[in-house]
Structure 1
């Protein structure tokens, strides 16, 4: 589920559509939450979905190897190497920079298991020119720094998506903010296994019968 103060706009013929803030969204705001209405697919079905859709986060693999099909505005969020939103190991994505009204909401695709090299031309001064499967290993320290700073601001900003976090995510976030548990690095987003091979039959595109945690 995407932050309610966003909308989809056409960017240009090359990029297509993107997501833009309709009001200021301060750093530390939860911008996206995985919810039970999004579809989860096993690998064979997801591969066909990738071929049928534009590249990007429309279909991505979570840490359990299950492929997630984003719904609502979330499927249109583009990548930038100086992203203002990043995924966390707490089941949500967070604004790691202030996002001003009218600014595009962009995230770091290197945090998702896209499983292949993808050319980049995001136009920012930090553009890496390509996504690689080992980006997590190379960049996680810098990404963790941005995420930790943003998490520390969570109690101080309005959180319209907080109510949609599941109980486990809320517990982990609260435990970190209270100093009861250490920070969970973004490296926890690495794929830990593969999707159950028979969860979706080869010619059946029905959602896999399990949630985002496998």
Structure 2
């Protein structure tokens, strides 16, 4: 589920539509969280679909840790990519605002964090020389993504959290401990490998 202070708006002819903040969303706020209304499709089922529906699934879904395709039930599926995103994924099935997101500003995430199989070119952006989302981005970018998430977590208990009640029971104690500085934040790399040290050495 996307933060309630957002709406779908037309961004440009090149980009199409995107998710935009309607009020200030402070740094450290949960901006998106997985919930039970999301549509989860098994790979075999998606493989059995006709080409037209497959293309829609591939465009608007992401793969979860079980290899299932997940389609968000609300307008969060229209969140666009940026190499300088204002939202960051965590291991707890939610994203945090990495800085204050102003009214009228588009919410963005780095698609590289999803470990996409297919690489693709992106529109040029000021402040970065990255132009392509690569399948192994997570292996090279995770230290920066982890730092963004750690910094955002420092504000977690100081801001309003309208989506906090949707945090899964299995995560809530650890989330509160991380936000209070009592436990380290697990690396986003753990979603891709059981042993981040092994991946570093490869």
Do both proteins adopt the same fold according to a TM-score greater than 0.5, normalized to the shorter chain?
A: yes
The residue aligned with 2:5 is: 5
User: Which secondary structure state, in structure 2, belongs to the residue aligned with residue 7 of structure 1?
Assistant: strand
TM-score when normalising by structure 1 = 0.82
Q: Which has the higher helix share?
A: 2
TM-score when normalising by structure 2 = 0.87
RMSD: 1.8
Deviations 1:153-179 (Å, cap 9, x if unpaired)? Answer: 100001000111121121220122344
Please tell me whether the aligned partners of residues 61 and 191 of structure 1 are also in contact (alpha carbons under 8 angstroms): no
Cα distance in 2 for partners of 1:18, 1:54 equals 18
Q: In structure 2, list runs of 5 or more residues that go unmatched.
A: 195-202
User: Which secondary structure state, in structure 2, belongs to the residue aligned with residue 90 of structure 1?
Assistant: coil
The residue aligned with 1:33 is: 33
Q: What is the CA-CA distance between 1:54 and the residue it aligns to?
A: 7.4
Cα distance in 1 for partners of 2:100, 2:161 equals 14
Q: Tell me: higher relative CO, structure 1 or 2? Use CA pairs within 8 A at least 6 residues apart.
A: 1
Q: In structure 1, list runs of 5 or more residues that go unmatched.
A: 193-214
Please tell me whether the aligned partners of residues 40 and 71 of structure 2 are also in contact (alpha carbons under 8 angstroms): yes
Give the paired residue count: 190
Matches for 1:62-211 after TM superposition, within 5 Å: 62-190=64-192
User: Which secondary structure state, in structure 2, belongs to the residue aligned with residue 104 of structure 1?
Assistant: coil
Cα distance in 1 for partners of 2:58, 2:80 equals 11
Runs of 4 or more, structure 1, over 4 Å off, are 47-50
User: Which secondary structure state, in structure 2, belongs to the residue aligned with residue 63 of structure 1?
Assistant: coil
